[in-house]
Structure 1
């Protein structure tokens, strides 16, 4: 069932974005009097479609190959490679008959719509949910670094009071893109000592492998307080109860949840003696530790959260900033990929990887957040100057505008073919990479 939900969210999210992207091309073409012959979600390879109909001279349909979508614009060299049409005399309603600036707008129409859609989604999310965060100034016990954080010099209990000398207002800022992508310097308070920890340029490789929790946990350091217990768990069978405080494992004192978790991982598949403070009375309980190094209880986090709600129009600049920031972060990530600071196997994802991000339960807030992010990613990827992508077409049009004459049809056909081969190769690499990471056993 989880797989079905993941696939359903992926198909819905991508279908919305692809249809709106292609609508950007469609509406721009029609605005300049250019004939549009087809409008398809997914590709009708070898002229086979799952569904189609004609309306006002345009064939609308759903193809069988779910690798995007397209609009077929008359008089344009595109993925259809319709060389027969291009061999005839240019007609006034064809793409090739229009001024270069109009053709450029048509090519950028999809990208523009994706940016607008991304901003709109984040705007609406801000209207509905506002902004909820943990004030950094209210953190009592500091951070919990994972293996990545420890490797670069962070320690449990450190308090990160500034980033690049600028005070941190929100706790989640310390695991934000401006830290991971921009190679920030964390200004750390460790007891009475102040020190700086610089983020390595290649840290995204480790984060891709191990997850953000192995950099710095999303939750600040917390003391131990039992909240709820999992059925049939070691904690439940041992008699642990809501409100208990675990103070030692096999006689070794523990104060914070991360200390308890580390100790339990040292006793996988073993029995341990828990020293428990229950209403100021000290008792001992014997619990079985699972093979994962857990005993099966949920900790109660006494961490204050702050929510800021915005009016309808005040939410717009907040949502727009989130959308534009995601666009910039992905552009910076691409820069790291091209300069070799991030490995391609860590940065490239296929629909398989995207589906795992949506998850196996349907959460509308997460669905729209991811769809908004994907809209900005789609805009960025299509802006790349690769033949067969919108950015490639735009680049050739800019060259035409500079030269004062169009590039030859033969050159454009060959460039389109090269671009198509590049995209297919990239897609095969992405699928193979995700199959290896997410499906094949490690």
Structure 2
């Protein structure tokens, strides 16, 4: 039996390779923390590259380099799918921490009222106003609808899949947006949000609302870049409003996307395609290559759909918590002993929300249930709120982002072959759409916030 075959068996059975994934993550988090933030000027603005950016880049590099690495260190495709599943667990830990921050600020958020409500319109209309015309000029046809009606996360894939089918042009477009967001989204939005923040055009609270695009990793990256340029007190408020905005986008965004932004994208396409549409090499998109399909077909269904067993799920939650404590120590000099009780509460919120979601038969998404549980514990209606706020406040919300984005990076290489086929045009359109959703929501929040 070949070395590669042995490695594949080890990956599937979890023998050695599962622990290897967490060791890779530990190595990346330490290196990213030691590199620290790097800033440089771009014209009148400033770009800040935070450790979370190095984390996702280092993770992606390890996956892409698997062909050059010895078998014991190789990050094969099944392991990359496993990393993607761990990422989902990391997002829940991050969601719980943000929910704990939001609960104590509910009165402030309720006073913000209209600005938080109407910024949701900017999140989705902004993608269409900027992304769709560019797609048509570049010669992209109906793929433009799928790529620009939203930021293209999991609910958007489901909507397009049900309405058009994933083998349709619209399906290829939303897949391109999804891949772009997965591979470049967090890095791009962190750089872009940091640059816009440095221009001092928008209020930090409006920028925070714009950061809640409905993707946990992208929201974390954008909020981190915005918060890094504020005082500690304002940085905490930025995180709170970003979390609240992201929660609203996650809760009502699916319905908003289905009934407003998708019909608007279709209508806009019909109007402008005959006027500014062009025909280029991007007008026809080929299907997946046989080699890539074979490689991904070799992964079992549970791995591909990001499912963890009950034991693996607990391991993932605890591992993410430990990695976050290490990140907090390196980046913010927080003693793990002082932050450990707060992290234990965070993991308890995740577990409670997860099992409540299962009891509800999945009618309400886990991210919403976990957020509600966490928000209640620090809200004015919880009798233990002051103590919980004090304990969980010792865990820096930015400390959880490098571990989360590390696993995002470690899962990327599996998508690169499909992503390469979609070409640079759809990448550019997707990035412009992401910029549009951030700017659109920020501008509307700025108007209503003031």
Fold agreement, TM-score > 0.5: no
> Which protein, 1 or 2, shows the higher relative CO under an 8 Å CA cutoff with sep ≥ 6?
2
TM-score (norm. length: structure 1): 0.27
Bigger strand fraction: 1
TM-score (norm. length: structure 2): 0.27
